[in-house]
Amino acid sequence: MSKKLPAILCAVFAAVSVVLIVLSVMNFTKKSDGENGVIDEKTAGLVLAQGVEADAPSAELDGVVSNNMKNQNEFPAGILEELKPAYAINNNLVGWLSLPGTELDTAVLQSSDNNYYLAKDFYERTTYETSSDNYGNIYLDYRCLSDGLSKNMIIHGHTTGRASGVPKQAFRSLYDYRDKEHFIKNPIIKYSTLTEEYTYKICAVFLSTTQKKDDNGYMFNYIYPDMSDNNMVGYIEQVNQRKLYETGVSLEPTDKIITLSTCIYDYGKSVDTRLVVVGRLLHEGESEQIDTSLVKDNPDYRRPQVWYNSKGKTNPYKDSAKWEPSPN
């Protein structure tokens, strides 16, 4: 009997953990940090581990708490109350990202480079230790401001598909924005730094390749944080060429933007491509509503040269200016 007890306890703990995950995700904003500011990392972890699959072994949480993921009483000045539990687990938390009306509602981390969180989850575990998919965690480009807004706030993330209808990674939700009807229903991006909440209105959805060889020696470098207003004129032209449909949402050189970028294979497995969703900061006094009459398909959006070659078509953008980002 005593030999079976550990196995029974493990089974009970696993069942309770699954229930807690469901309840916590439904009600995470109502969780408090308890008396005296002490946070239980297991509870907070179940609530906020958006980058971990629902079937990940919750019983292993005790083994992944590191020096920067401990209960704590002190937080950065002005931190939003609802972000305290997540920050207590991982001090690399810099914000929270959501697309109202979609599944995307997740913590945003930041490291000193853009490679670290490609393979590390919210608990700092290398993700192949808990999943066959190396999906990492959503993260802010290392060059962007963590305590304010860069001209272009760039957030990267993997996309790995679905398991039984449940997304394995939050940026899978971006795929739905290839459909203009989905955009019409869900046109807003919410982003919070540790201290401030911001609203962006989606202004463009486009595809872009990452290798110069695929597009006449040119790569559109949309992941640049500090373009000047003058330089952004060329950026807007590049976006307008590529966007899958007209959103009817204006984009001006003086606007601040947010860029959500993930992998996609619409041009084939051999063509490294990104799906990009761009939002611009809501103007003062502007409504979150969009004018749906202005949303229209863009049938001749710019594709890479390899696509035109495969279709036997002439590339109308072949001789277009090759814009480069600049702070000047």
Q: Where residue 299 sits, what CATH number does that domain have?
A: 2.40.260.10
Residue 23 lies in a domain: no
| In-domain check, residue 70 | no
Q: Is the pTM of this model over 0.85?
A: no
Report the largest interatomic distance among the alpha carbons of the chain, rounded to a whole angstrom. 78
Tokens 């953990």 belong to residue: 17
CA dihedral 60, 63, 66, 70 (to 10 degrees): 70
Domains held by the chain: number: 1
Q: Which structural domain range is residue 218 located in? A: 92-311
Does 77 fall in a domain? Answer: no
Note down pLDDT in tens along the chain; length 328 residues.
344 334 433 443 444 343 333 333 333 333 333 333 333 333 333 333 333 333 333 334 444 444 444 556 789 999 999 999 999 999 999 999 999 999 899 999 999 999 999 888 888 888 665 555 557 889 999 999 999 999 999 999 988 655 555 445 668 899 999 999 999 999 999 999 999 999 999 999 999 999 999 999 999 999 999 999 999 999 999 999 999 999 999 999 999 999 999 999 999 999 999 999 999 999 999 999 999 999 999 999 999 999 999 999 999 999 999 999 999 9
